[in-house]
Structure 1
Amino acid sequence: MPDANDLIAADVDLQGRACRKLGSPLYADLMAAAAAEAARGGIVAQILLPLAYEPAGSAITLRLFGAVHRLALTGAAPDLAAAYPSCGGDPTAMTANELWSAFENACRANESAITARLGQAPQTNEVGRGVALRGALDLAVGAARLPVRLVEIGASAGLNLLVDRFALRWPGGSRGPASSPVTLDDAWTGSIPDDVGLSIVERGGCDIHPLDATAPDDALTLQSFVWPDQRTRLDRLRGAIEIACTTTSSVKNQSADEFLAEIAPTSGIHTVVQHSVMWQYLPDDVRAAATGELERLTRTATPDAPVAHISLEPPRTADDADVDFRAARRHGGFIVSAGCAPYFDDHVVGYCPPHGPPAHWL
């Protein structure tokens, strides 16, 4: 059996490399130091030891760093907060050694509180993905132009059910309310989807671990998993939480297949099912059952009761017939798809980075 410290160090190192690639030099530097410390069996290895043999994809490093970020956000780790932009801090005011010492000391002083948070899988309910979902929604809804019932599987706290309340801006255009507390700049490139006068009359979703963005503790959880030097992402999240407090929607504690099984096409309503960066995490049996439910909805849709399916997901197989992989990599790597029964089948309509702007439309 591999050494636990080595496994932890490898996970932390891999996550740090991903953070650097995705625009978080603060976490990248901290994780490089944490990986070296974990290999020596220090506090990071001690805290993560119970999770050392968790399956790949369990995000044990992000669980730890999210728990520590939570401490900084609540004032329980003031020295670290002084370096975290999310808390009003400045990482350039510290040397690399000082930054690592602040993180290490926060871990040692709050080990029991951190350990208690490790069961929480990372959730950020990435609001930036709204640039992909809003455009796909406009493309799908344009086929029928009826009032929309928007439902989301794997919805987390349901913030992307509020996508029509976000302000999208790009050179030469905009969409959504200009006064929105969520502004998504440089939202779109390519063949901009038409404005179809979107009218959402019902919103709901499901998640196996739903959060309530209107509850202070859950709102703090969402913020803690945003990387602290990515202020734009955090500002979007905080703005979406503000909208959630004034908008009626609900997220059930339910699996995707069970939730979809309760939905049926409705006369005079355009049902839209959306999801983003969740499909690959479904167990095989749930994914198969959810696919069957989506096929049922498609078969039973009518012009008076259409059903759309929109998504932002990574490419699933190397032989996807309608994916231009070079274009996908050039525009962020993830695939935006849309279909609307009985009008047109699911197909690729654009590409987008995993955290959002810009979405590029075909």
Structure 2
Amino acid sequence: MTDGAATTNEGEVRASFASQAESCRGLGSPFTALFCATMAERLDRRFAFGRRVLDWPGNPRADALALRCAGAFNALARSGRAPALTALYPPVEPSADTLWNGILAALAGHDAFLTGYLDSPPQTNEVKRCAVLLGGALMVARQTGLPLDLIEIGASAGLNLGFDLYRYEMGGCVWGTPTAPVTIRSEWRGALPPLDAPLAIATRRACDLNPLDPGDPEHRARVMSYIWPDQSDRIATTEAAFDAAARQSWRVEQADAAEWIEARLAVPQAHGQARLMMHTIMWQYLPEAAKRRIEQAMAQAAAAATPEAPLAWLRMEADGQPGSAAVTLAIWPQASSHAGGEREIARADYHGRWVEWR
């Protein structure tokens, strides 16, 4: 399938595409699975795009190379600049041969655009993860009885920072107003969080290494390109969240997560507010040194927490169990082992399609 000598990295690149195809099937995107499987089997070096991908200098899995490629072609299809490619995208269900021919035609006309799109890693805001954030925040609000001072790291465009303004449909239960700008539909398993707890947000701030402005059409298009095109509800939910976030006054700050957390936690906490640090599926991308700095800063802040100024840490992160992420919560000061120490409160689908509350 290649017109040049194979490199030592090519097998690893192709394996990463095949692995991503399996993940996409499990996460409900047969189209993206087909795209990745087709790339794994057929990509060659006749265009600059193929040469750059097959000779990728880094770790193709860690660099999310397959998703960079999928995002590049989805961006081109969404732009309307390659009508023949757009015509193959959902709701159409092309064969592998038809899709490959469309890929080749797109490369012939847009090789530079597609190759350049590989420069940046995928950046998304998975808005349905807000169901997890709502559940954890309600638990903090119920236990502390205080309004929340929200701080979020790895926030991207900040779409999840306004989770309390959305409406949630969780099986037979509903939280939020009918006029909310965004509706989160999530399959809910197990018990429910304290939906009747009074939830008030006093302040909210967030950071990201590469923050996106929800009001910027180019930033919006970039995020949407990484959302798998056969997941219509996910697309609609994210579009609505962009509209809602663009109308808000807050914006995500550009900062290194460790430096930002150290600075934020160094600011004396207001009495009468519970500070809640939260993040979703970003911890794995941090250098080990940054993780240790954040953990140390949180430990110092936890030691200084009081009932009038408590601290909580809510996270939804991969923990090695296949198919889902762990949702954990810690609250300080620890009045008892049940009330304080970090515990797993739920498991959740990585995209928030379902939550199993513990």
TM score, norm. by length of structure 2: 0.90
Does the CA-based 8 Å contact 2:157-2:214 persist in structure 1? yes
1:1-362 alignment runs, 5 A limit: 2-38=7-43, 40-43=44-47, 45-49=50-54, 51-54=56-59, 56-85=61-90, 90-92=91-93, 94-194=94-194, 195-264=196-265, 265-315=269-319, 332-343=323-334, 344-362=340-358
What is the CA-CA distance between 1:91 and the residue it aligns to? 1.7
Q: Residue type matched to 1:361 in 2?
A: W
C-alpha distance in 1 between matches for 2:249 and 2:303: 30
Aligned counterparts of 1:75 and 1:114: Cα–Cα separation in 2: 14
Tell me: CA distance 1:84–1:55, structure 2 relative to 1, closer, same or farther (3 Å). Answer: closer
What CA deviation, in whole Å up to 9, does each residue of 1:167-199 have, x standing for no partner?
Answer: 111233111232223222244222211132211
SS at match of 1:58: coil
What is the identity percentage for the equivalent residue pairs of Structure 1 and Structure 2? 31
Runs in 1 of length 4+ with deviation above 4 angstroms?
none
Query: Do the aligned residues in 2 keep the contact of 1:141 with 1:308 (CA within 8 Å)?
Result: no
Report SS of the residue matched to 1:12.
Answer: helix
The C-alpha deviation readout for 1:198-250, integer Å capped at 9, x for no partner, is: 11132111111221122111111100001111111111111110110122222
Q: Which amino acid aligns with 2:351?
A: H
The aligned amino acid for 2:332 is: A
Deviation track 1:252-283 (CA, whole Å, cap 9, x = no partner) reads 21122111112242212221100111112210
| Other structure's SS at 2:341 match | strand
Quick check: 2-11 or 347-356, which moved more? 2-11
Q: How far apart are the structure 1 equivalents of 2:349 and 2:46? A: 35
Aligned partner of residue 157 in structure 1, secondary structure: coil
TM-score normalised to structure 1 length: 0.89
Instruction: Tell me by how many angstroms 1:8 deviates.
Output: 2.6
Alpha-carbon shift at residue 23 of structure 1 (Å): 1.2
Take 1:315 and 1:7, find their aligned partners in 2: how far apart are those partners? Answer: 24
Q: Which residue identity does 1:11 align to in structure 2? A: S
Which amino acid counterpart does residue 213 of structure 1 have in structure 2?
P
**Structure 1 stretch 279-288 or stretch 51-60: which is displaced more?**
51-60
**Counterpart residue type for residue 247 of structure 1:** Q
For structure 1, which runs of at least 5 residues remain unmatched after alignment?
317-324
Structure 2 portions without partners, runs of 5+: 1-5, 335-339
Cα pair 2:302 2:332 within 8 Å, conserved = yes
- Following superposition, the deviation at residue 49 of structure 1 comes to 4.2
Match of 2:129, SS state, is helix
Equivalent-residue separation in structure 2 for 1:108 and 1:13 (angstroms):
24
Cα drift, residue 146 of structure 1? 1.6
Rounded to whole Å, the distance in 2 between the matches of 1:2 and 1:51 is 10
Task: Describe the shift of the 1:237–1:219 C-alpha distance in structure 2 as closer, same or farther (beyond 3 A).
Answer: same
Aligned length: 343
SS of residue paired to 1:29: helix
Q: Secondary structure at the match of 1:160?
A: coil
Please list the CA deviations of residues 102-139 of structure 1 after superposition, one character each: whole Å capped at 9, or x if unmatched: 12211221111112221111111111111111101111
The separation in 1 between residues aligned to 2:289 and 2:28, in whole angstroms, is 35
Judge conservation of contact 2:274–2:312 (CA < 8 Å) in 1.
Answer: yes
